[in-house]
């Protein structure tokens, strides 16, 4: 059975760097291909700019050296002196103009590209969310899988890691590479041996960075676990609803002690990786020292031997210094690309994984009649062996209203998930007009059902959007109609914006707050708006007072009128409007019948009824 599949098998680590590059390139082309010429222009400007700084001293010193013996002390200048002054002036002027244009513009361009690169990341976030919202539902109840999924989204977390960092580094890399190549050519033309050690230290820097980050990547599971544990303790106190219990039971010290311990754990982890970084960094340090000694010795000895003029010496020296700086940047960039790429690859593994394996492709055959059959259905949740439903057989006939009762954990909600195709049976089958739900396209199956969930809260959109479940396709008349049927229109109508009123106060301080009972009505209206063939109502367990509770029952029975329906009840007494009552216990049906039949049977249902009604019934006697 697929349900038991390990999440590691579902999301396979299969994206290669090449595929990552392709995916990122496609995203770029799709969303903002204008960035490509941007990158080109940036590269040209940002390559030349640092090289100007290397050439300037050389040119100036060449001029100055010529004039060293003829310091001008005022009075008439010799023609050579004039020439030198003019030359220096010209050099500085040209340098300034070139530098101002190149430096100013490359800074400006990199700023311009900033937000646009961020947008690509936001788009990946949307991809991840899309995946979460469209994957087979059962994945969502697999904690290990979700752990994995959330980790996959790490690559979109900020502008300084993951996918955005890779984009940024790639954007700037060509400029660095070309500048470095130019410097390598200068030094290499002088003596090929001069570039060996810098290249080695480049490798060493990359190696040190990469090893440390590989270590952190390997630890990522423990790191995210440690961080999560830590934040859990912080959340306890920061969630003010814990306040009463913390004060009443004096839990303060216990929590803060635990928090401290978690910080300690995290610090120990961190010490490991920072120790690694320190040790790995000894390599590049060694190579850099060696390289500097060799280069300086070479240049100085050559200059002392008269083979290098001072200006040329200064030029090579500053070339060497610049090369080291650029190499450090290149090593960092390459490492960022490969290291952050690891996280990006994880994200792409997730986005590209087939998470709809369980779904079929058949469309539901439309018919005015509907019949839903459970045949020998057994079910257990992913990563659990405990059967929630066992060999269950049940038929819901057309236009029948069925009540589902039973104690907590009897499997009532599970049965709904199986009926709507959110889950599929471990064995046995659920048939909709004879079609096995396993073979059905979930989207087509979902269309059949309107579910009022136990305690769903509205989201901060307008009333109309909430009821229609859409932004684009809203029929205002129907929205009002269903609100009226659910008994909520009078409350909405008096709002100045009517059905365009925003719900909740999170995003709109003038938003509409609904009470528990009103929220139920809103959800009923949404189900009605959908006008489904099958209505499923899950009774709220939240503390509604007796009057509000009765009103919810009435709303439910009205909503079920002329429909096929399933009503889950937590209080036996509310099922009177149903045709049949099914008592679930221990994962299978223990009693079926009308209220009268079940009471007469004096079985489990009767017993529960009596116990629950005990204090009320005494009154009657």
Partner 1 sequence: MSKKISQKAENKPANNQQPKIVEEIIESKLTTGEQLKMYAVRFRLAFQAIKNQSPNFIVILILNAIIQSAQIGLAVFIPKVFIDVLIQQLVWSSAFYLIWGIVLIEGILKLAQNTLRRKIEVEQVRVQHGIEREISAKVTRLPYHYLEDPEILNLKESAHFALLNQQVAVYIITNFQEILRYGLTIVLLLAILAQLSLLLVLFLLGTFVIIALLQNSLKTYETNFFLNIIGINRKYGYFIEKAIQPELQQAIRIYNLEPLLSTRVDQLNLEIIDFMQEYMIHSGKIQGIQAIITDLQGVVAYGYSAMRVLTNIVGSPIGIGSFSLYAGTTIQFSIAMRKIFDAYREVKQCLDYLEPYQKFMQLPEIGQESEQTPAISSTKNLKSNRIDRSAKRKPIHEIIFDRVTFTYPNSKEPVLKDISFTIRQGEKISIVGLNGAGKTTLVKLLCRFFEPDSGRILINGEDIQTLDESSYLREVSAVFQDFRLVPFSIQSNIASLPDQMINQDQQFISKIETIVSETSVNEFTQNLKNGIKTKLNKSIHKQGTELSGGQSQKVAIARALYKEGSLVILDEPTSALDPLAEAEIYEHFDTLVRGQTALYISHRMSSSKFCDKVLVLEQGEIAGFAPHEELIKDKNSLYTRLFNEQAKYYEL
| Dist CA 405 CA 396 (whole Å) | 15
- State the burial class of residue 284 (Cβ atoms within 10 Å of its Cβ: 0-12, 13-18, 19+): buried
Rounded least distance, CB 257 to partner 1, Å:
6
x-marked contacts with partner 1 along 115-134 as a string, rule CB under 8 A: xx-xx-xxx-xx-xxx-xxx
**380 touches partner 1 (CB under 8 A):** no
**Residue 59 or 489 having the CB closest to partner 1:** 59
Name residues whose C-beta falls within 8 Å of residue 521's C-beta, 6 or more positions apart in sequence. 486, 487, 488, 555
Which residues in 325-364 contact partner 1 (CB under 8 A)? none
**Residue 143 or 181 having the CB closest to partner 1:** 143
Q: Contacting partner 1 (CB under 8 A), which of 44, 51, 83, 140?
A: 140
Whether the Cβ atoms of residue 56 and residue 50 lie closer than 8 Å to each other: no
Question: Which of 396, 503, 514 lies closest to 455 in space, CA to CA?
Answer: 514
List the 588-593 sheet strands across, edge first.
449-452, 534-538, 564-568, 401-405, 580-585, 588-593
**90 touches partner 1 (CB under 8 A):** no
| 3-class DSSP assignment, residue 3 | helix
Which residues in 533-592 contact partner 1 (CB under 8 A)? 541-550, 570-574, 576
Question: Which of 128, 152, 133, 144 lies closest to 4 in space, CA to CA?
Answer: 144
Q: Contacting partner 1 (CB under 8 A), which of 178, 251, 431, 484?
A: 251
x-marked contacts with partner 1 along 162-201 as a string, rule CB under 8 A: ----------------------------------------
Whether the Cβ atoms of residue 335 and residue 210 lie closer than 8 Å to each other: yes
Instruction: Considering only the stretches 169-177, 190-198, 368-376, 456-464, report the one whose residues sit in contact with partner 1 under the rule CB under 8 A.
Output: 456-464
Instruction: Considering only the stretches 237-245, 333-341, 365-373, 482-490, report the one whose residues sit in contact with partner 1 under the rule CB under 8 A.
Output: 237-245
| Dist CA 141 CA 128 (whole Å) | 17
Q: Contacting partner 1 (CB under 8 A), which of 185, 289, 366, 513?
A: 289
**83 touches partner 1 (CB under 8 A):** no
Rounded least distance, CB 18 to partner 1, Å:
26
Which residues in 500-539 contact partner 1 (CB under 8 A)? 506-507, 515-517, 526, 530
**Residue 376 or 607 having the CB closest to partner 1:** 607
Relative to beta strand 387-396, strand 401-405 is unpaired
Question: Which of 211, 188, 611, 553 lies closest to 403 in space, CA to CA?
Answer: 553
**Residue 257 or 376 having the CB closest to partner 1:** 257
Which residues in 395-414 contact partner 1 (CB under 8 A)? 407-409
Q: Contacting partner 1 (CB under 8 A), which of 336, 465, 480, 555?
A: 465
Name residues whose C-beta falls within 8 Å of residue 337's C-beta, 6 or more positions apart in sequence. 166, 169, 170, 173
Q: Contacting partner 1 (CB under 8 A), which of 51, 67, 177, 431?
A: 67
**387 touches partner 1 (CB under 8 A):** no
**476 touches partner 1 (CB under 8 A):** no
Instruction: Considering only the stretches 7-15, 19-27, 188-196, 314-322, report the one whose residues sit in contact with partner 1 under the rule CB under 8 A.
Output: 314-322
Q: Contacting partner 1 (CB under 8 A), which of 95, 215, 217, 283?
A: 95
Which residues in 11-40 contact partner 1 (CB under 8 A)? none
Relative to beta strand 401-405, strand 372-380 is unpaired
Name residues whose C-beta falls within 8 Å of residue 407's C-beta, 6 or more positions apart in sequence. 585, 608
Whether the Cβ atoms of residue 333 and residue 176 lie closer than 8 Å to each other: yes
Rounded least distance, CB 238 to partner 1, Å:
6
Q: What is the DSSP letter of 171?
A: H
């Amino acid at each position: 059975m697929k349900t038991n599949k390990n999440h590691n098998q579902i999301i396979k680590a299969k994206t290669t760097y090449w595929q990552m590059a392709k995916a990122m390139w496609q995203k770029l082309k799709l969303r903002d291909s204008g960035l490509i010429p941007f990158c080109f222009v940036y590269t040209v400007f940002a390559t030349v700019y640092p090289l100007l700084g290397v050439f300037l001293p050389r040119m100036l010193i060449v001029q100055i050296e010529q004039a060293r013996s003829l310091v001008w002390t005022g009075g008439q200048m010799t023609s050579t002196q004039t020439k030198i002054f003019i030359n220096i002036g010209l050099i500085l002027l040209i340098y300034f103009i070139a530098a101002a244009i190149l430096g100013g513009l490359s800074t400006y361009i990199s700023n311009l590209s900033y937000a646009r690169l961020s947008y690509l990341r936001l788009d990946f976030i949307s991809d991840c969310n899309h995946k979460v919202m469209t994957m087979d539902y059962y994945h969502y109840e697999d904690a290990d899988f979700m752990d994995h999924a959330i980790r996959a989204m790490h690559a979109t977390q900020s502008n300084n890691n993951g996918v955005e960092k890779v984009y940024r580094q790639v954007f700037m890399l060509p400029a660095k590479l070309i500048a470095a190549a130019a410097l390598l050519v200068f030094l290499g033309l002088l003596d090929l041996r001069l570039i060996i050690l810098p290249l080695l230290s480049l490798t060493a820097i990359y190696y040190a960075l990469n090893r440390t980050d590989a270590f952190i990547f390997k630890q990522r599971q423990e790191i995210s676990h440690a961080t999560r544990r830590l934040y859990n303790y912080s959340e306890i106190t920061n969630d003010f609803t814990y306040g009463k219990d913390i004060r009443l039971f004096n839990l303060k010290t216990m929590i803060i002690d635990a928090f401290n311990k978690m910080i300690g754990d995290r610090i120990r982890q961190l010490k490991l990786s920072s120790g690694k970084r320190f040790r790995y960094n000894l390599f590049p340090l060694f190579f850099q020292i060696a390289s500097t000694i060799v280069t300086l010795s070479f240049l100085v000895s050559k200059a002392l031997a008269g083979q290098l003029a001072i200006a040329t010496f200064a030029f090579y020296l500053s070339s060497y210094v610049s090369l080291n700086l650029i190499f450090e940047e290149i090593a960092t960039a390459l490492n960022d690309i490969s290291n952050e790429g690891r996280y990006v690859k994880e994200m792409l593994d997730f986005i590209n994984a087939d998470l709809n394996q369980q779904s079929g492709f058949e469309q539901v055959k439309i018919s005015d009649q509907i019949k839903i059959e459970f045949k020998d259905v057994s079910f257990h949740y992913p990563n659990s062996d405990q059967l929630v439903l066992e060999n269950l057989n049940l038929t819901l006939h057309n236009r029948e209203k069925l009540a589902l009762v039973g104690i907590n954990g009897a499997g009532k909600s599970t049965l709904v998930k199986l009926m709507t195709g959110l889950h599929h049976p471990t064995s046995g089958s659920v048939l909709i007009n004879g079609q096995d739900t396993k073979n059905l396209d979930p989207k087509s199956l979902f269309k059949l059902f309107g579910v009022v969930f136990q305690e769903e809260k509205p989201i901060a959109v307008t009333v109309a959007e909430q009821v229609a479940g859409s932004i684009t396709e809203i029929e205002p008349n129907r929205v009002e109609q269903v609100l009226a049927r659910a008994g909520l229109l009078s409350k909405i109508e008096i709002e100045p914006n009517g059905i365009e009123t925003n719900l909740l106060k999170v995003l709109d301080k003038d938003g509409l707050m609904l009470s528990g009972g009103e929220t139920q009505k809103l959800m009923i209206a949404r189900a009605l708006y959908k006008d489904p063939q099958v209505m499923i109502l899950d009774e709220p367990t939240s503390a509604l007072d007796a009057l509000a509770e009765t009103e919810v029952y009435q709303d439910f029975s009205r909503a079920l009128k002329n429909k096929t329906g399933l009503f889950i009840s937590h209080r036996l007494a509310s099922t009177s409007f149903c045709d049949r009552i099914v008592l679930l216990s221990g994962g299978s049906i223990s009693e079926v019948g009308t209220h009268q039949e079940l009471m007469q049977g004096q079985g489990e249902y009767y017993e529960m009824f009596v116990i629950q009604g005990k204090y009320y019934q005494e009154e009657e006697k």
